[in-house]
Amino acid sequence: FIIPYIFALNPSLLFIDVESVWTLISIMVTSVIGMAGIAMGMTGHAYAPIPWYMRIMLLAGGILLIDPGPITDLIGLLLIGVPFAFQLLQNRKLKAAAAE
């Protein structure tokens, strides 16, 4: 449901007016991370259940990553990175508690 919008916002993904290979790769990477952020935000689960406020951060970050532009990419990466790092730390704590 979101993939057609990604192609509409970033025609470079269809190899139309591609400036360079690195531009294409960066758009692909940020789009995939954005879709993953939206998926985690909608499902509410990555490694462990995600609180509602982090789900909002993931959804907002995913939408910002899909929108082309360096400023929106940086903000989107930050908004997705914080909840994802929190999930990794929480997962390590759960594994350590299970091992004891």
Residue 41 has a pLDDT of: 93
Residue 94 has a pLDDT of: 83
Q: How many CA atoms lie within 13 A of 71 on its CB side?
A: 0
Reported confidence tier of residue 1, pLDDT bands at 50, 70, 90: low
From CA 49, how far away is CA 25, in angstroms rounded?
31
- Residue 85 backbone phi and psi in degrees, to 5: -65, -40
From CA 99, how far away is CA 54, in angstroms rounded?
27
Q: How far apart are the first and last CA of the chain?
A: 43
% of the chain at pLDDT higher than 90: 39
The residue-averaged pLDDT of 51-58 equals 95
Residue 98 has a pLDDT of: 83
Question: 65 is in which domain, residue-wise?
Answer: 3-99
User: How many domains is the chain built from?
Assistant: 1
pTM of the entire structure? Answer: 0.82
pLDDT score of 95 more than 80: yes
